[in-house]
Amino acid sequence: MMNVLKDWIFTTDHKKIGLLYLIGSIAAFALAGCMALLMRTELSAIGPTITDNPGDYNVWLYFHGAAMILGFQIPALTGFLANYLIPLQIGARDVAFPRVNALSVWLFYMGIVLALMTFVVPNPPDVMWTGYPPYSVLTPGNTALYTFTVLLLGFASILGGVNFLTTITFMRAPGIGWNQLNVFTWCTYGAFILQLIFVPVLGTAVTMITLDKYMGTHFFDPAAGGDVLIYQNLFWFYSHPAVYVIFLPFIGIVFDIVATFARNRIFNYKAAIYGGVGGIVLLAGEVWIHHLYVTGMPDWIRVGQMITTLMISIPVGLLFISLVGTLFKGSIDFRTPMLYGLSVIFLMLIGGLTGIPLAIVSLDLHVSDTYFIIGHFHYVMAVAGTFSIFGGVYYLYPKFTGKMYNEAIAKIGFWLSFIGVNTIFFPMMIVGVTTGMPRRYWDYSQFPDAAPYHTIMGIGAGIIAIGFIVILISWIHGLFKGTPAGDNPWGSRSLEWTTTSPPLAHGNWEAVPTIAEGWGPYEYGTDKA
Amino acid sequence: MSDHAAHAHGAPTTPWPLVISIGILFLIPFAFMAKFVYHQPFAAILCLGLGAPMIIMGIIGWVREAIGGAEFPEMRGLGFGAMGWFILAEALIFLPTFATYWLMRLNADEWPPAGTVDMPALLPIIMTVILVSSSFTIHYAEEALEKGREDVFKKLLMVTMALGLIFLTMSMYEWNHLFHQGFVMSTNIYSSTFFTITGLHASHVIVGLGIFTAMLLPALNGTINHVFVRTGSLYWHFVDIIWFFVVSQMYFW
């Protein structure tokens, strides 16, 4: 028992570290989901429902946003999936710096510890996940806790980024060229470049809030010559690219899932990689102003950033065409991972198309800070990202357990969640446009027309909760009752499926694998005919 | 870890990353919050007392394991390239502080803002000379090591560390001097950026000195990891280059 514990908490093996990330991030997801349930229950009817204190609502809102983005999505995608998959996909025996990898995962856990302290400290942080001054500086809430949570998770991200960029650049097995990499590996490469550039900016910005609040500096204090808009700019300079840090790995894993279950090559591989991933990496840092259209900017900045924001749809469109083209003439197998993969395409389409009006200044000014925004970003980032993480877990389930989950339970879990998310987020967009219901309100007595929609959203939240419990049951059930899956249950050509399932605890392969001439991760023979 | 690799299929383990993480949790977030949020100076000292030894212990253990080389041959020599990526991230830690400074300064009605004292001009020049010469000494140390002259390497490494320490001491002296004149972090927007940026830079000098210590102690016992030396020296050059931005923007503009 002690040996097993020691093997896990002192491990430097990328597969165990990946699973540690998975456990921590799923726990963060469950807790942040509970916060969402509390908020939806509070909003299910006009007036106070389960709390009389709007401050409680602020704390739930803070924890939901911060934990979902920083504690769940980014660690699950760039921690769990990247850790587990990338060394296997490039034929490496581990990452470049296994100890640094272990340091990353434990810093992530320390960040989770700080986030959990929200529930025990007096005056918990109540600054949403954005921490805008002047509120974050003036609030009695503990803004330092927010700052340090971000700093620890950010430091873990930076170390992870350095580690994986070095791994992918220098540790590909001999014979794997840049054009033979899995799309997931490529997408994660892009995501890690973005993290290295933008995470430090967030770290500095949140540090400056804490300096302002506790050390008396004046960065964001207009009375002394500071400027609150500097914070908003720095924050979104990170946080818009953070959307792509989430988007790129999740679209990458969807590519791998779709190619495997459609038994088809990636359509337009080079356009998707160099145009799609490359385009997003290049444009990611030039669009953040669209979060600040209403703050009072010169028109030339707003119009310029409107153009760059609209340009983002070009690389995203390339990736989208590539995904749909991969389905075309494929022999599609509707297993659970594929259902998640296809649903991500659908959710991303809705989320992406609702993003276009938001990029246009004249339209955005009218729906800014309404429920339309919440509906949009939950579709494109929150739900699509979460569904691809769950799809990735199902896809890799036989890889890391050697067992097969129960398909029926898994499919029930999928459909419940899928119906749930559409029941909650589609009405959000309608209510945002038709009633102008503003976000972040704990009571909406000024917007009585919104009430029936809120009731429907409350029901949707309940359905998601049940769906997630079913998903968890399917994972735990498979662990104990799953049938042996064999080494390559999906018949994938990708390198991670050529090793045993689960792979060797130390080193993945007996020796660095040899790659045959002309090998590719998606060679299903469909191009030859 | 190389001795662990001998056990054919047992995955290697190391306790130090976990120890360092817990140490960081106590040293920075807990100690800061105890002192500045909850005003419990004794608890803060307790957190410092727990965190600092854990980090130092963790780093010593880590260096002992790692200085001998990587687990698999294909992992050797990757530190230098990784430091390049890390420096990209480091540069972007400094950029927002400078951007904030520039924006506030260019939008200010009067500069320097009320409350600013006369900034010294001679001291920063001497500090620049010291830091630049330390960049030269570490470069020559690296060259000596490549020629196989380990004794020269060790001496030049020690000279570099001494120069770094002198730089830090002068920085500390200057801060103290400014504090006594009533120029502290909360004085005005110039003091806010001045102490934040010079403090951020000084913290990087401290990290650099830590890296050199982790190089020097094993070297005195006869173990020198060449990749580690090149990596650490690259970091030091970066800290030096950042100083040019700090000194030109903070003192001479």
pLDDT score of B6: 40
State both tokens at A226.
Answer: 């500071």
Residues B146 and B208 in one domain: yes
Name the nearest CA neighbour of B154 among B210, B209, B213, B205: B213
> Is A510 among the domain residues?
no
pLDDT score of B7: 41
pLDDT digit string (tens) for chain A, length 529 residues:
788 888 899 999 999 999 999 999 999 999 999 999 999 999 999 999 999 999 999 999 999 999 999 999 999 999 999 999 999 999 999 999 999 999 999 999 999 999 999 999 999 999 989 999 999 999 999 999 999 999 999 999 999 999 999 999 999 999 899 999 999 999 999 999 999 999 999 999 999 999 999 999 999 999 988 999 999 999 999 999 999 999 999 999 999 999 999 999 999 999 999 999 999 999 999 999 999 999 888 899 999 999 999 999 999 999 999 999 999 989 999 999 999 999 999 999 999 999 999 999 999 999 999 999 999 999 999 999 999 999 999 999 999 999 999 999 999 999 999 999 999 999 999 999 999 999 999 999 999 999 999 999 999 999 999 999 999 999 999 999 999 999 999 999 999 998 998 998 888 888 888 888 888 899 887 665 4
User: 3-class DSSP state for residue A518?
Assistant: coil
Chain A residue with minimum CA distance to B85? A162
pLDDT score of A527: 60
Read off the CATH number of the domain in which A294 is found.
Answer: 1.20.210.10
pLDDT score of B212: 96
> Is A109 among the domain residues?
yes
> Is A512 among the domain residues?
no
- Percent of residues, chain B, with pLDDT higher than 70: 96
Is A114 in Cβ contact with B29 (below 8 Å)? yes
CB–CB of A368/A292 below 8 Å?
no
Name the nearest CA neighbour of A250 among A343, A151, A355: A343
Torsion of CA B18, B20, B24, B27, to 10 degrees: 120
Q: How many domains does chain A have?
A: 1
Is A110 in Cβ contact with B75 (below 8 Å)? no
What tens digit of pLDDT does each residue of B145-155 get?
999 999 999 99
Taking the Cβ of residue A219 and every Cβ of chain B, the question of whether any pair is shorter than 8 Å is answered with: yes
What tens digit of pLDDT does each residue of B75-84 get?
888 999 999 9
Encode burial over A97-116: b for 16+ CB neighbours within 10 A, e otherwise. bbbbbbbbbbbbbbbbbbbb
Taking the Cβ of residue B86 and every Cβ of chain A, the question of whether any pair is shorter than 8 Å is answered with: yes
CA–CA distance, B222 with B100 (Å, rounded to integer): 47
CA–CA distance, A260 with B133 (Å, rounded to integer): 58
Banded model confidence at residue B10, pLDDT cuts 50, 70, 90: low
Is B193 in Cβ contact with A10 (below 8 Å)? no
CA–CA distance, B61 with B156 (Å, rounded to integer): 25
The pTM is what? 0.94
DSSP structural state of residue A300: H
Banded model confidence at residue B8, pLDDT cuts 50, 70, 90: very low
pLDDT score of B1: 37
Give which of B2, B13, B20, B188 to mutate to test A binding, by max A Cβ within 10 Å: B13
In terms of residue numbers, what domain contains A340? Answer: 2-498
Taking the Cβ of residue A514 and every Cβ of chain B, the question of whether any pair is shorter than 8 Å is answered with: no
In terms of residue numbers, what domain contains B6? Answer: 1-71
State both tokens at A497.
Answer: 């499926």
Is A98 in Cβ contact with B71 (below 8 Å)? yes
> Is A426 among the domain residues?
yes
> Is A469 among the domain residues?
yes
Q: Closest partner residue to B32 among A10, A144, A197, by Cβ? A: A144
Asked whether the predicted pLDDT for residue B73 surpasses 90, the reply is no
Residues B61 and B98 in one domain: no
ipTM for the predicted complex comes to: 0.93
Q: How many domains does chain B have?
A: 2
Taking the Cβ of residue B75 and every Cβ of chain A, the question of whether any pair is shorter than 8 Å is answered with: yes
DSSP secondary structure, A365-419, as one string: HHHTTBHHHHHHHIIIIIIHHHHHHHHHHHHHHHHHHSEE--HHHHHHHHHHHHH
Q: Closest partner residue to A106 among B18, B108, B186, by Cβ? A: B18
Residues B232 and B159 in one domain: yes
